[in-house]
Structure 1
């Protein structure tokens, strides 16, 4: 669960706790749950609140509390009240008690028949989450049927409540189809809830509501990869069935998601526009670059020659051009990449280091100075390349680069090489960083020290080494006495040899 979801769940739990104390929701009380995560957490908290810790909650007479009560008879009776909160009704549709479940489904179906637009927009995100429960698919199938049979048109005055933060700001009430009013599916397609957006996209595609240009436009504008793929696959299928459409291909080529752009590049072939593939050889995505190289080959060209020309031209060389060249280069091209290690752009230097690694070429003397590179990306790539040959670098030189006076990215790069080197040197570096001012380095160092322990194999450290014993004494807080005793035994270090006692 992400940080935002945790915060929303906490809002639901807080609202439940307020009701159980006899408080209220809204002004002067706890915030009323809005998002699906909040309502689900609210339901779980009320159920927990009727346990031994809360033998007689003061808010037990509230309809929201009764709908979540552990006793199924109370939940069923609450469903017969006038206007029960629909989010809790939706949760009860997946209830484990058949009587509660059937009554809740009657209430939800009646609400859907009376006000389909409001019910669908308010509850679809929650219903989709509940569909994963054993009895949760009924409500989803009901909503699918309601949206598929006839997409309800919104009243001109109606819009989702502003408190529903899972909605994106509406672009315009009369979208998609000229002067036709907006529909429920239109709102669902613009929802900030990813599951809802994907759900609405599938229903729209099943209904065949859009032509190829609109499908491609939506694929290009969508930033969620899963939703973008739905639109893009449909657009490509339409292009394959109906023939090329330059405007649709243009939308795909400008897409946010790499898979969409890759689809646009492959569509260039049937459109007779293979010559444009060269313009995508330096795309920021490796997938798109691979498709562009394929298309160049299909057109009889040589992608290697074109990629090399990009890298050799100072006015056109970019980090992505270097990455694309490395993907089709040969080991004899290593000198060209080495020459880029002095390029003024840090991103290009980083791409050159990564390219040399792709060619399985590691020049320690050339890469070593890059650990001190002012570009964090270049230092990181250099550390990845040097990690496999860290033993060829002086230990004291590396240890000096994790000193507190060094830039943060330099310290992380040097520590990556030290840890890969392993042995006493790697342990010494980790222990030095356990008390560092950088919380990120402290956390990584602690995790790497803890990874030394395994009940099945001893740590890869020299046996009986006094320095290892002293270093282990400095990280006793990371292990229990039992584990520390086992590690010492595995390493042949007597208990208490450096003052540690009490195992």
Structure 2
């Protein structure tokens, strides 16, 4: 009952993902000539939903407008970027070269964050040299994507990324913590513990505790118990869950009195039986 242009508008405006996919597919299937694309492609390409945008980008090739796909190589959605790379390659282009050209000027204030992570998605480890200078870019989105890109390329250097745990942007700290998780045991525990204090911004405390929790052992227990009375409810809940699933590390000394003290401070989280069991595992007398 609907014409292709109406289906395209429905795909772009509806909140239901099933309707979006159904209408976008129907709109593109119903097209028969190039003129009809004028009413279909603009709504799809400008849609907020990534799946709808990706359908429009893929359709650019069939519409003979592959060149237009270049502008979507830096889209905020990984799905749209992947579709854009496909269309550009089919047209004889080189997405990796396009990304490298975008990232060669680390002080470019107009650099789109999508171009930074796009380079990591289709580049190689040698491209880490273009991403590292972007860690100091003035735009938080670019810094965050640079960290994510280095992690994607398996080139995340803990010493270089550590200062970003204090970044004023929450997205940068979140990506940095994710990149540092594999080396959590090598990070200085005292510096991370200091960052969990209420003097620091919430996102800094969350990032530090995420790494301490991944580290395990008495350091993780010390950090979690210290956050049990934190003013932030979500952080308190996470800390309580961390204490409840805590077990002593096999490489740590048994019978540490501090472990018993920390478990006693969190006894309200355990039944008497579970508390005795945790202390027994840690070699601490009840």
Q: TM-score, normalised by structure 1?
A: 0.54
Determine the structure 2 residue equivalent to 1:468.
259
Q: Deviation at 1:492? A: 2.5
Does residue 1:389 correspond to 2:183, yes or no?
yes
Tell me, in whole angstroms, the C-alpha distance in 1 between the residues paired with 2:14 and 2:120.
30
Q: Structure 1, unaligned stretches of length 5 or more? A: 1-208, 453-457, 496-503
Higher relative contact order (CA 8 A, sep 6+): 2
Q: Deviation at 1:321? A: 1.6
Q: Deviation at 1:494? A: 2.1
Determine the structure 2 residue equivalent to 1:282.
74
RMSD over aligned CA atoms reads 1.5
Pick the structure with more helix per residue. 2
Determine the structure 2 residue equivalent to 1:437.
231
Q: How does 1:64-463 map to 2 (within 5 A)?
A: 209-239=1-31, 242-244=32-34, 245-246=36-37, 247-313=39-105, 314=108, 316-452=110-246, 459-460=248-249, 462=252, 463=254
Q: Deviation at 1:226? A: 2.3
Structure showing greater radius of gyration is 1
Equivalent residue of 2:227, what SS?
A: helix
Aligned length: 280
Kept in 2, the 8 Å contact 1:431–1:445? The answer is: yes
Tell me, in whole angstroms, the C-alpha distance in 2 between the residues paired with 1:365 and 1:487.
35
Kept in 2, the 8 Å contact 1:311–1:318? The answer is: no
Q: Deviation at 1:432? A: 0.5
Which of structure 1's runs of 4+ aligned residues deviate more than 6 A? none
Equivalent residue of 1:284, what SS?
A: coil
Q: TM-score, normalised by structure 2?
A: 0.93
Tell me, in whole angstroms, the C-alpha distance in 2 between the residues paired with 1:332 and 1:415.
32
Equivalent residue of 1:434, what SS?
A: coil
Q: Deviation per CA, 1:280-334, whole angstroms, max 9, x where unpaired?
A: 1011111010000001110111110112222224254121221212211210111
Equivalent residue of 1:349, what SS?
A: helix
Kept in 1, the 8 Å contact 2:119–2:127? The answer is: no
Q: Structure 2, unaligned stretches of length 5 or more? A: none
Q: Deviation at 1:459? A: 4.2
Q: Deviation at 1:350? A: 0.7
Tell me, in whole angstroms, the C-alpha distance in 2 between the residues paired with 1:274 and 1:335.
30
Tell me, in whole angstroms, the C-alpha distance in 1 between the residues paired with 2:142 and 2:211.
22
Tell me, in whole angstroms, the C-alpha distance in 2 between the residues paired with 1:312 and 1:278.
17
Determine the structure 1 residue equivalent to 2:283.
492
Q: Deviation at 1:398? A: 1.1
Change (3 A) 1:284 1:223: farther
Tell me, in whole angstroms, the C-alpha distance in 1 between the residues paired with 2:125 and 2:273.
52
Tell me, in whole angstroms, the C-alpha distance in 2 between the residues paired with 1:234 and 1:492.
66
Q: Deviation at 1:346? A: 1.1
Tell me, in whole angstroms, the C-alpha distance in 2 between the residues paired with 1:271 and 1:316.
29
Tell me, in whole angstroms, the C-alpha distance in 2 between the residues paired with 1:469 and 1:429.
15
Q: Deviation per CA, 1:206-265, whole angstroms, max 9, x where unpaired?
A: xxx1011110111112233222112112112213xx244222122211112111111111
Tell me, in whole angstroms, the C-alpha distance in 1 between the residues paired with 2:88 and 2:229.
54
Tell me, in whole angstroms, the C-alpha distance in 1 between the residues paired with 2:143 and 2:199.
24
Change (3 A) 1:315 1:478: closer
Q: Deviation at 1:460? A: 2.9
Kept in 1, the 8 Å contact 2:76–2:114? The answer is: yes
Q: Deviation at 1:375? A: 1.0
